[in-house]
Amino acid sequence: MTKEEKLANDIANLVEDHWFNPATVGRILANQPYYTIDRVMEVVAWVIEKQAGRHDDELSKNQPSSEGLWLAKELDKVIDRYKTKYVFENIKLP
């Protein structure tokens, strides 16, 4: 298992915990050096893109979706608009 796969699995398992606090994780990650913030935002952008695609797949199959997937779809549209207007030098977006 790669370190990226391990991290993804750890995150998926931790968020299932009733006591998991996303605000705490966000605050800690937001207080990192710029390079780290850029990598975190790349991860966020990739998660948004993949979940937006999942939202589309579920709707195309007339399956129920979730608020999180709907939000990912809307955020993906915003990211796509920014990609056409701004040249990112330090962030590689999907």
Same domain membership, residue 25 and residue 36: no
Same domain membership, residue 44 and residue 19: no
In a domain, 90, yes or no: no
Looking at residue 82, what is its pLDDT?
95
Same domain membership, residue 11 and residue 49: no
Same domain membership, residue 41 and residue 1: no
Domains held by the chain: number: 2
Looking at residue 46, what is its pLDDT?
97
Closest CA to 55 of 71, 77, 79: 71
Same domain membership, residue 15 and residue 59: no
Three-state secondary structure along the chain? CCHHHHHHHHHHHHHCCCCCCHHHHHHHHHCCCHHHHHHHHHHHHHHHHHHHHHHHHHHHCCCCCCHHHHHHHHHHHHHHHHHHHCCCCCCCCC
In a domain, 43, yes or no: yes
Q: Which domain holds residue 70?
A: 32-85
Looking at residue 72, what is its pLDDT?
98
In a domain, 94, yes or no: no
Q: Which two tokens stand for residue 58?
A: 């579920």
In a domain, 81, yes or no: yes
Write out pLDDT tens, residues 21-80. 999 999 999 999 999 999 999 999 999 999 999 999 999 999 999 999 999 999 999 999
Same domain membership, residue 78 and residue 45: yes
pTM above 0.85, yes or no: yes
Contact assessment for residue 6 and residue 55, using Cβ atoms and an 8 Å cutoff: no
